[in-house]
Chain A
């Protein structure tokens, strides 16, 4: 009885507030836009048969006809991919440096990586507005050094979005790689060098393959949330940057077209399923390798 209660409460909660809403999104993505509020025809009221009949793929067809949407999907994919690569480029050397730092330093470095994660996401993105704008600190600095003579336009471009994503998601990249590198037995590298590898060769042949799972985990942890990101493109990307999370938000709040917003959400989910499953498999493999 107690066991039933223990299972039923969280299970019921998630069913009601996670799974059911999901089906509602799915349902609404298949219904028509009505002008009344809520702005969708409540298809369920007329009974199930009627509901099925009323379902159509109009909204999805609409998504394919208006090239705003598929451009937004493609652009989200591109931005997420490039930012993930950049985050890896910045994060790997940091994780490596942390793993090689003296033992007594490592907890502090670890804390320094985690600290931004506890700070408000919104504030961290906002901090870049003052840096990247035309009169911002970066341009002031570059003008002062004489490297440039006219201010660079970074704010409201995709470059600003890349910087924002790399900045906010960097801890997600560093932590799994650091965890993998920290476990790595130093004597393996010494063995490789003993067997005739140069230090760089040993890095390529031993360190990189052994930290592979950390790299994969870190990349997914950056890529997956970056794909549906809303705050960063809205704040740093300006109107020129298309990202699907932003489109969804605007479709919903500005155009109040809920069925189309739902259809956008459904497709975003479909795109996300592949990386999520790959990520889960990587985690599982890693867990199995550890036991």
Chain B
């Protein structure tokens, strides 16, 4: 049993207060009836009502979802392929360049990624809009997916694939029947990560979007530049709520699975042979 010292308790309490207090305040004041965001004037849900009426926000939300679903799905396919190539591909011409291109976007400032992609789209004469944002988001989020998936593949017992081959599978069948089902959790979290990154992105979308397609972050950005607004608080609360429910249920599910797996294991060892 480890010692829980006052120092540890204090640093954790203060640290988590720092992490969560701003968001808690945001959520509380989204129910403020006053237009003045920082002065409490009573409970009200009117900003939610106004938000739902605001078609510009709804349109932007739709565009954002469209982009996020398309780009995260594409990124998951490409990123999983890239991860497989990196971990299992062996040697091929330009492997170093390839792994460099996988890792570079992770540390590349968004302004540079955005700028360079915009210049490319202009150079080839591609009209900016949903398509260009999808292309841009796919490019950087596939790298995140491939990092998530390849870290799973590295710890993957290679003899499982060999066993499948040994039992008569072709390489593709071995991937489809054995590798993919086992790495599926990593692929799914890769997709979720790509989806969140896409939902969240302001800078790259600002560069690559056209006049007709505005994403939610761009919309929020232009609103918050003017200062705090209760409508944005309401919107933020909704987004925070979705993420919180999602993350908590995901962790509860994985915790339940882990507990169950452990119980199974213990039961198996007890009832051995």
Contact = CB atoms under 8 A, between A and B. Distances in A.
B247 A114 contact: yes
A192 B39 CA distance: 54
Contacts of A9: 78, 81
B18 A120 contact: no
Contact of A124 (B15, B23, B248): B23
A186 interface: yes
Nearest to B115: A265
Nearest to B86: A10
Interface stretch (A53-61, A134-142, A205-213): A134-142
B116 A119 contact: no
Given A6-B89, A230-B111, 15 more contacts: A10-B79, A13-B138, A18-B104, A18-B139, A28-B119, A94-B16, A122-B220, A127-B23, A170-B18, A230-B110, A245-B109, A262-B115, A268-B111, A269-B112, A272-B109
A115 B2 contact: no
Contacts of A234: 225
A245 B78 contact: no
Contacts of A98: 12
Interface in A122-154: 122-124, 126-131, 133, 135-137, 140
A123 B26 contact: yes
Among A9, A109, A129, the one with the most B-chain Cβ atoms within 10 Å of its Cβ is A129
B228 A133 contact: yes
B85 A21 contact: no
Interface residue SS majority, chain A: helix
Contacts of A14: 82, 98, 101-102, 139, 142
Interface in A239-275: 245, 248-249, 252-253, 258, 261-262, 265, 268-269, 272
A126 B220 contact: yes
A69 interface: no
A245 B111 CA distance: 6
Interface residue SS majority, chain B: helix
Contacts of A94: 11-12, 15-16
Contacts of B203: 230-231, 249
10 contacts: A10-B146, A11-B85, A17-B117, A119-B243, A123-B220, A123-B239, A126-B236, A227-B109, A253-B206, A261-B115
Contacts of B115: 25, 248, 252, 261-262, 265
B117 A21 contact: yes
Contacts of A107: 251, 255
B18 A167 contact: yes
Interface residues of B, number: 86
Q: For the side of the interface on A, what is the size category?
A: 35 or more
B185 to A, nearest CB: 16
B196 interface: yes
B139 A6 contact: no
Contacts of A135: 38-39
Contacts of A133: 38, 227-228
Among A3, A109, A123, A133, the one with the most B-chain Cβ atoms within 10 Å of its Cβ is A123
B4 A129 contact: no
B119 A25 contact: yes
Contact of B89 (A3, A225, A229, A261): A3
Nearest to A11: B98
A122 B221 contact: yes
A66 B163 CA distance: 65
Given A248-B111, A248-B115, A265-B115, A123 B84 contact: no
Interface in B1-42: 1-5, 7-9, 11-12, 15-16, 18-20, 22-23, 25-26, 29, 37-39
Given A13-B78, A186-B2, A6 B15 contact: no
4 smallest CB-CB distances across A and B, nearest first, come from A228-B109, A21-B116, A93-B11, A97-B8
B22 A18 contact: no
Among B20, B81, B142, B227, the one with the most A-chain Cβ atoms within 10 Å of its Cβ is B81
A111 B251 contact: yes
A49 interface: no
Interface string B88-126: 010010100110011111011111100111011011000
B190 interface: no
A25 B116 contact: yes
Contacts of A109: 12
Contact of B103 (A91, A118, A280): A280
Nearest to A287: B154
A50 B26 CA distance: 57
Contacts of B23: 116, 119, 123-124, 127
A2 B171 contact: yes
B58 interface: no
Contacts of B200: 120-122
Contacts of B221: 122, 231
Contact of A131 (B15, B22, B138, B196): B22
A87 B75 CA distance: 31
Contacts of B246: 118
B243 A90 contact: no
B16 A112 contact: yes
